[in-house]
Amino acid sequence: MTNFLFRILLLLCITSFTSFAVAAKQNKEAKPPSDYEKGIIAYKNEDFATALMLWFPLAEAGDAQSQFKIGQMYLQQKGQRKDPSAAADWITKAARQNHVEAQTLLGQLYLKGEGVKRNHRTSANWLLKAARQKDSQAQYLLANLYLNGEGVPAAPGKAAYWYKKAAKQDHTAAQNKLALMYLNGDGINKKPRQAKKWFEKAALAGNAPAQINLAKLYLNSDVVKKDKHKAFSWYMKAAKQGDAEAQNQLGLMYENGTATQKDIKQAVVWFKKAAKQDYRDAHFNMGRAYVHGYGVAKNFKKGVKHFHKAAEKGHGKAQMNLGVAYYTGQGVEPDSAIAYAWFYLAAATKVDDASITKNAMYKKLSPDDMKKATSLAAEYKRKYFVRPKRQK
């Protein structure tokens, strides 16, 4: 028995010694961090001066990673002044060495004209290089260029191809765009079920535009079984992320009691959030709220102020209401010529009854007011006309 125990102890000692020796060997063989890695550590600790000091010699010697990092720092104003031109120079050096992130970023710089002269064709060339290396952001941006015909001939089919590549890599904006193309049969065979599938993937991942599009499907389309409660839920998710369109739509659902209890005050809460983001339709809805005293104290001046903001963005009904305000003098000094100009613009925007109101009012104007009204109408149309969908 004693012999047996001795053997076990000896075996344990040998095992421990072997493990210690292997660990010692690994520690001995472990390489100290490179200057590039030291720069990463310094950068993460917000010691930007040290990061630059470590990366500059590497970048000048041709290291693509360091060139890219320095370019980013010039763009982001980390540890030095912002210098888009210098950033573009370093990023170009890295991109020419096939650094995929640099190629994508350089494509974006040419797209915006930041640090380089804006050039959609050059942007497309760099994005294509990165897209072929499977960079999802480059694939998405390249798809946008093909969809809009910017820097490349418009080609919806190629747009759909690259959106699909990016979507399969979980790029949520690409998933949303791909879903729209499936929904409308734009550049790809129309497949409503595929549209729903991609909207859901993006929406569940938190993409607000996809959440809105999914809400619209549940509210208005035949792609899915209509479900106002699901629509409300998706609008709420997007609204809580700060999306102005969703906030405004949520306000309308509270106002009308759609899939929720009717609550005018809550409607105004959401209209206000969207209006603070200068969302056109929300300004119109806040104008209605103040003029009629919906959920807020009646205040014509505030109402007209919101109508102005919506009208100047091409909202036909807001233009019509401004015409009424200037004609009646509610919230503003009465001015028949200005009233006519807004009625004229509302008529051009195809608002019901605006054309009849405009013509009837014109007949009542004095010759001087007719001249002023005609001049203002032409000016307003030049400044504020937006080709509309028909507003009823």
pTM: 0.86
**Is 231 within the bounds of a domain?**
yes
Domain match, 103 and 71 both: yes
Q: Return per-residue pLDDT of the chain as tens, 392 residues.
A: 455 554 554 444 444 545 544 454 555 566 789 999 999 999 999 999 999 999 999 999 999 999 999 999 999 887 667 899 999 999 999 999 999 999 999 999 999 999 999 999 999 999 999 999 999 999 999 999 999 999 999 999 999 999 999 999 999 999 999 999 999 999 999 999 999 999 999 999 999 999 999 999 999 988 889 999 999 999 999 999 999 999 999 999 999 999 999 999 999 999 999 999 999 999 999 999 999 999 999 999 999 999 999 999 999 999 999 999 999 999 999 999 999 999 999 999 999 999 999 999 999 999 999 999 999 999 999 999 998 664 43
- Residue finishing a domain among 216, 241, 266: 241
Which residue type does 11 have? L
- Residue finishing a domain among 201, 218, 241: 241
Q: Which domain holds residue 212?
A: 152-241
Q: Could you give phi then psi for residue 132, rounded to 5 degrees?
A: -70, -20
**Alpha-carbon distances, residue 357 vs 116, 205, 338, 346, 374 (angstroms):** 52, 49, 14, 10, 15
**Is 25 within the bounds of a domain?**
no
**Is 43 within the bounds of a domain?**
yes
Q: Which residue, chain included where needed, has tokens 């694939």?
A: 139
Domain match, 161 and 226 both: yes
Question: The tokens of 81 are what?
Answer: 């002044």
Q: How many CB atoms lie within 10 A of CB 368?
A: 9
| 198, burial (CB in 10 Å: exposed 0-12, middle 13-18, buried 19+) | buried
Q: What is the CA radius of gyration of the chain?
A: 31
CATH, residue 93: 1.25.40.10
Domain match, 62 and 122 both: yes
Is residue 180 within 8 A of residue 187, CB to CB? The reply is: no
**Is 224 within the bounds of a domain?**
yes
**Is 123 within the bounds of a domain?**
yes
Is residue 229 within 8 A of residue 263, CB to CB? The reply is: no
**Is 211 within the bounds of a domain?**
yes
Domain match, 115 and 165 both: no
Total domains in the chain come to 2
